[in-house]
Amino acid sequence: MSNSLLILPGDGIGPEVMTEVKRVIDWLGANKGVHFDVSEDLVGGAAYDAHGTPLHDDTMAKAQEVDAVLLGAVGGPKYDNLDFSVKPERGLLRLRKEMDLFANLRPAQCFDALAEASSLKHDVVAGLDIMIVRELTSGVYFGEPRGIHTEGNERVGINTQRYTTSEIQRVARSAFELAKKRGGKVCSMEKANVMESGILWREETQKIGDDEYPEVELTHMYADNGAMQLVRQPKQFDVIVTDNLFGDILSDIAAMLTGSLGMLPSASLGLPMANGRPKAMYEPVHGSAPDITGQGIANPIACILSFAMALRYSFDMGETADLVENAVNAALADGLRTPDLMTVEGGTKVGTTQMTDAILAKMSEA
Ligand code: IPM
Ligand code: MG
């Protein structure tokens, strides 16, 4: 079976970190005989500059064809005043929606060498390994009605939180399946105390747990309490499952537990395609970081680890994924730090390219 990959570097530091991923891909080709059919295209502001739309229809069609999409980042101050319908973020949301990537996996793992880089105490985060499963194709991000209109002399902004049973059930199943292979625990987060959609979320998740996954321990938490518990005692969690908006917020919190947003990968998975592989897109959790763009100092690790997730979840190459992840760990253990990780004394400050040099060297030694 061939392995096709569509790379969408996007904006800001997206192209910089993607350049490093391409080096990892080339290394695997040269040293492990693992080959990918790589194509590349535009998304976000870069696509808007070229085509007047943040995602060209041809790019969307290509994304539907490949085994996996790898996306860098979208957005930047240059595009802040664009009409909402053509903002860079719309390109990303279209990919998620049209590929029906309902399960967004955001692992937050604290690498030993970085336990000091977290803003939390060492003991609170050392050894942390949690997985946030965020629903990605529904909820307030896509619900109708939405928009801004005028009522008398007031303007009114509207968005709608809407979930159906099947939308909740399928993402709940993804979370339970992951929990079975991990610590055996799922914590579901919503606001059932104030939102009907939260009540439905809680009931449907419980039903799936009772009927299909009695061996997994299921608990429920209000999302605000969940946010607090994530910084108080994050190691109490194994898998967290939550809706689109709460998942967006809670995963940023979880990211900081690991030391830097520059460390966190993600996988967005949909239904299996004809070849049995799931529809999939992989992207770092961090954004386009306009403040550091073009300086060669962006941390490439989140994007490299996103590619490692592609190896694991799309291409069934768990051992190759381990090789990449262990190399990242080893480079960090040697004290190499991009500036975002230099929050504690010690360590050797390196740029984007040097960090990848070190990771590739560790892969060669392994
Ligand atoms: C994320 C981002 C996106 C989101 C933005 C860029 C649209 O914050 O992937 O977490 O809100 O989903
Ligand atoms: Mg976000």
Is 58 catalytic? The answer is no
Q: What are phi and psi of 298, to 5 degrees?
A: -65, 145
Task: Please name which of 283, 284, 361, 281 lies closest in space to residue 324, comparing C-alpha atoms.
Answer: 361
**285 alpha carbon to ligand 1 midpoint, in Å?**
8
Is 26 catalytic? The answer is no
Is 87 catalytic? The answer is no
Q: For residue 337, what is the domain's CATH number? A: 3.40.718.10
State residue 97's pLDDT score: 97
pLDDT band of residue 344 (cuts 50, 70, 90) is low
| Mean pLDDT of the region 271-288 | 95
Domain boundary among 235, 257, 279: 257
Domain limits for position 291: 1-105+260-366
Domain boundary among 231, 257, 283: 257
> Is the model's pLDDT at 170 over the cut of 70?
yes
| Mean pLDDT of the region 101-123 | 90
The number of domains in the chain is 2
Which string of b and e fits 124-142 if b means at least 16 CB within 10 Å? bbbebebbbbbbbbbbbbb
Task: Please name which of 139, 352, 133 lies closest in space to residue 244, comparing C-alpha atoms.
Answer: 139
State residue 101's pLDDT score: 98
Q: Is 96 helix (H, G, I), strand (E, B) or coil?
A: helix
Q: Match 């299996």 to its residue by tokens.
A: 272
State residue 225's pLDDT score: 98
Q: Any residues with CB less than 8 A from the CB of 306 and at least 6 apart, and which?
A: 21, 70, 265, 266, 267, 282, 283, 284
Which tens digit of pLDDT belongs to each residue from 305-324?
A: 999 999 999 999 999 999 99
Which tens digit of pLDDT belongs to each residue from 14-52?
A: 999 999 999 999 999 999 999 999 999 999 999 999 999
Which tens digit of pLDDT belongs to each residue from 187-243?
A: 999 999 999 999 999 999 999 999 999 999 999 999 999 999 999 999 999 999 999
* Together in a domain, 289 and 186: no
In short, whether 6's Cβ falls inside 6 Å of ligand 1 is no
In short, whether 357's Cβ falls inside 6 Å of ligand 1 is no
Angle at which helices 196-212 and 165-181 pack, to 10 degrees?
50
Is 224 catalytic? The answer is yes
* Together in a domain, 101 and 141: no
Active-site entry in 11, 248, 279, 313:
248
Which atom number of ligand 1 is nearest to the Cα of residue 104? 9
Cα–Cα distance, 185 to 48 (Å, whole number): 43
**248 alpha carbon to ligand 2 midpoint, in Å?**
5
> Is the model's pLDDT at 345 over the cut of 80?
no
DSSP letter at 52?
S
Query: From the CA of 12, which ligand is nearest?
Result: 1
Q: Match 């979208």 to its residue by tokens.
A: 74
* Together in a domain, 253 and 264: no
